[in-house]
Amino acid sequence: MKFEVTILGSNSALPTTKRFPTAQVLNVLERFFLIDCGEGTQIQMKRFRIPMSRINHIFISHLHGDHIFGLIGLISSFSLQGRSVDLHIYAHSKLEKLIRFQLELLESKLEYEIIFHPIFGTKTQLLFEDNSLSVESFPLKHGAMPCAGFLFKEKPRLRTLRADMLSFYNVPIKCRQSIKEGADFVDDEGQVVSNKKLTKDPPKTRSYAFCTDTAYLPRIVPIIGAVDLLYHEATFLKADVKRAKKTYHSTAEQAAKIALEAKVGKLIIGHFSARFENLRGHLKEAKEIFPNTELAEDGKKFSVKLDRD
């Protein structure tokens, strides 16, 4: 019952040998959602054992190279591996032009379909939804470049059946689905057993918000709400706050302020400037404001456990 983010790349524009550009995979119940796709993403997937063939949905925050230059290689490799399943890409509409132009010029014939879903970038937008998960985008602030954050939220589960009580009241199997959905049980003699006796509250829904690249933007606080995990960019330290503002990036302190105000469970900071050889300063600065902060590092995994009680 996983809900786990794997960091594939944690650096900003210029990659280093230890920190590839931005890419992450969110595993929700063994479905794998790719978020951003910097150069080398497919190599990192192999390194960190992400099953490439199970990536069916790719969410792209914005069209800076360090978030997209791995996409054409990934698309090509999917084809070489014999993929036949549709691939859904959620991004600014320019990305479709970029990919289709390359495929056409290079005469690459894919054996599968790519379905592009435009992100409009001016308001919150529901991008994906099924029985168990929804993904929304919301606008970030990255200068003239339209840029989206993503909010992944599990849907509420059905109520959890109490095996002991079902047995006690001799509830037949055929009635169980409706009880999970909240119905009371009425036995053959017309006696009503309330749903509360037969079930427990379901596990809490889990959630993840991804916010990069962006200037400090307190208006996202009510959007992300109290997510279990927040990834927020922290390109710079507070000493560089002017530079951060000018380049529409955030400092570690600003990322922590967002986490604190939104009351998130854990903050992951990333998208570090290549100028920083070590990231102790980022971690210290963020922890002073929001203690439950961790550094994004290539290969690191962050899980949210299913709260069964």
Q: Residue 132 contacts by C-beta under 8 Å, 6 or more apart in sequence?
A: 28, 29, 154, 155
Confirm whether 201 is a catalytic residue: no
Residue 101 within binding range of its own copies, rule CB under 8 A: yes
Please pick, from the candidates 2, 4, 31, 43, the single residue that binds its own copies as defined by CB under 8 A: 43
Q: Counting contacts by CB under 8 A, is residue 114 touching its own copies? A: no
20 forms part of the interface with its own copies (CB under 8 A) = yes
Q: Does 65 bind its own copies (CB under 8 A)?
A: yes
Does position 93 interact with its own copies (CB under 8 A)? The reply is: no
Residue in 66, 213, 228, 298 annotated catalytic: 66
Interface with its own copies (CB under 8 A), residue from 64, 83, 206, 271: 64
Q: Does 97 bind its own copies (CB under 8 A)?
A: yes
Q: Does 39 bind its own copies (CB under 8 A)?
A: yes
- Of the candidates 60, 86, 30, 53, the one whose C-alpha atom is nearest the C-alpha of residue 146 is 60
Decide: is 115 part of the binding site for its own copies (CB under 8 A).
no
| Stretch in the footprint of its own copies (CB under 8 A) among 53-61, 72-80, 221-229, 245-253 | 72-80
List, as one string, the DSSP characters of the chain: --EEEEEEE-B-SS--SS-PBSEEEEEETTEEEEEEE-TTHHHHHHHTT--GGGEEEEE-----HHHHTTHHHHHHHHHHTT--S-EEEEE-THHHHHHHHHHHHTTPPPSS-EEEEE---SS-EEEEE-SSEEEEEEE---TTS--EEEEEEEPPPPPEE-HHHHHHTT--GGGHHHHHTT--EE-TT--EE-HHHHEEPPPPP-EEEEE-S----GGGHHHH-S-SEEEEE--B-GGGHHHHHHTT--BHHHHHHHHHHHT-SEEEEE-B-TT-S--HHHHHHHHHH-SSEEE--TT-EEE------
Q: Where does this chain touch its own copies (CB under 8 A) — which range of 65-73, 119-127, 212-220, 295-303?
A: 65-73
Q: Which stretch binds its own copies (CB under 8 A): 93-101, 123-131, 224-232, 242-250?
A: 93-101
Min separation Cβ 46 and its own copies, Å: 5
Contact call for residue 193 and its own copies (CB under 8 A): no
249 is a contact residue toward its own copies (CB under 8 A): no
Report if residue 29 touches its own copies, rule: CB under 8 A. no
Sheet with strand 114-118: strands edge to edge? 114-118, 87-91, 55-59, 31-37, 23-28, 3-9, 301-303
Q: Which of 3, 10, 15, 264 binds its own copies (CB under 8 A)?
A: 15
Per CB under 8 A, the segment of 70-78, 229-237, 256-264, 299-307 that binds its own copies is 70-78
Choosing from 1, 51, 54, 81, the residue that interacts with its own copies (CB under 8 A) is 81
Q: How far is the CB of 300 from its own copies (least distance, A)?
A: 17
77 scored as a contact of its own copies (CB under 8 A): yes
* Cα separation, 175 vs 161, whole angstroms: 11
Q: Is 46 in the site for its own copies (CB under 8 A)?
A: yes
CB 58 within 8 A of CB 88: yes
Which sequence positions are flagged as catalytic? 66
Residues that bind its own copies (CB under 8 A): 13-17, 20, 39-40, 42-43, 46-47, 63-65, 69-70, 72-73, 76-77, 80-81, 94, 97-98, 101-102, 105-106, 108
